[in-house]
Structure 1
């Protein structure tokens, strides 16, 4: 069975500033609960491309994520390639807000490996990812990408 979550945030920064931060995994520990970020090839401070794999560490948890689609200033899509999920496909959609700035919609579709753990993961991920979206929005407002 597949589960989903969707969280939203608003940044006063333009979509290009928000997108630029998403492409630099080395910035993620600055605005999220992620402790450390690496890339399998290259520098985590450099912009990533579709196909690149990032490694995030949060406490003892390690997550390997592959970027699967990038549409400049609009869409950042990724998949988890290990961990407690049979599949996990996440997307960050950026839309220029009518009042200025950027509306951020961070969502995912996933299926956990452990039977009956889906409701827990939906609850946990919704809260964790809301913090990610809020942190991204705030960090973009102060960035000079």
Structure 2
């Protein structure tokens, strides 16, 4: 197993506070992303979005469960995957950096590919498809809700 990491960057004209509102609230994700459904399996501290929250993303038989491990509004958010993808040790770290009146979204991730699965393939899927799509959708949703 090899450790893999990636960094996805998106820029938004929306304020970090507005981007944060959408990022932190898992139940908003189906409105601005391709995530079909989201709910809290357990609330965190501060409730409901904070540290210790377990977020359930998915519908039908396909779900991923993530636990919030860092919650520092409105700039820094991190979570770890508990289950749902064929990778181990996935952790994501999202930083919202003020740039003028807008925000630079830096979404970094690390994981270990499970034996029998191609690490480079999962890096591509996570970085280029899933996370890049989330970061770009988050940026656009925050912009449209501020105007």
What is the TM-score of this pair, normalised by structure 1? 0.89
> Are the counterparts in 2 of residues 5 and 126 from structure 1 also a CA contact under 8 Å?
yes
TM-superposed deviation, 1:60: 4.6
Task: Give, in whole Å, the separation in 1 of the partners of 2:39 and 2:27.
Answer: 7
3-state SS in 2 of match to 1:80 = strand
Shift of 1:115: 3.3
1:89 to 88, 91, 105: 91
Q: Give the RMSD, CA atoms, in angstroms.
A: 1.7
Question: How far apart in 2 are the matches of 1:132 and 1:47?
Answer: 21
Superposed structure 1 runs of 4+ greater than 4 Å apart: none
Task: State the distance in 1 between where 2:30 and 2:133 align.
Answer: 12
TM superposition shift of 1:59: 7.1
Give the CA deviation at 1:116. Answer: 4.4
- For the residues of structure 1 that align with 2:27 and 2:117, how far apart are their CA atoms? 34
Q: Normalising by the residue count of structure 2, what TM-score does the alignment of the two structures yield?
A: 0.87
Give ranges in structure 1 of 5+ residues lacking alignment: none
Q: Which segments of 5 or more consecutive residues in structure 2 lack a partner in the other structure? A: none
- Aligned position for 2:124: 123
Q: 2:134 is matched with which residue?
A: 132
Question: How many angstroms does 1:41 deviate by?
Answer: 3.3
Offset at 1:6? Answer: 1.0
* Alignment match, 2:21: 20
